[in-house]
Amino acid sequence: MDLKYEFYINANPEAVWKVFIEPEATKAIFFGSVLNSTFEIGAPYSYVGPGNEGDETVHVYGTVLAFETNKSMSYTEHPGPSYRENHTELETRVTLTLDVVGNCTKLTLVNDQWPANHPSYESTQSSWPMILSNIKSYVETGKTLDFGW
């Protein structure tokens, strides 16, 4: 049930990393949301932005498990409270790794530790490729993809 994706991006790891951390980039990639965290191991994080509860909707949240600037990060992930009543029970793990390959960066994303019958598994399985494609486009061109939403 693990979800694993690999993308090659025509940029250095520092440029790719910024997309995951800097507010302007996270807003572009993650549908207007910013990532709130100190990024210390054990610290909470949340993606907050426009949604069901207005501009301060928590879309996903969790705990930072590992963090190495420009290289990797891992965190638990829960759907926001407005999405699932039992959001605290629905924990998965996301691990991002950046590796240099020639003059490119290989981005590997693994979303694992899915509890049985997680109601967001199928939607997550289809949304990660869209998000990762959007990251690739944004880093390489400065523009996001138009998914028609």
Ordered by where they begin, the domains of the chain are 3-141 (3.30.530.20)
* pLDDT tens-place string over residues 107-135: 999 999 999 989 999 999 999 999 999 99
Other C-beta atoms lying within 10 Å of the C-beta of residue 99: 14
Q: Which amino acid is at 88?
A: T
Nearest-CA neighbor of 64 among 41, 98, 94?
41
E strand or H helix at 47 = strand 44-51
Q: Which range (4-8, 55-59, 96-100, 141-145) has the least confidence?
A: 55-59
pLDDT > 90? residue 71: yes
E strand or H helix at 94 = strand 92-101
What tokens appear for 38 in the block? Answer: 């100190």
- Residue ranges in 64-144 assigned as alpha helix (H): 121-141
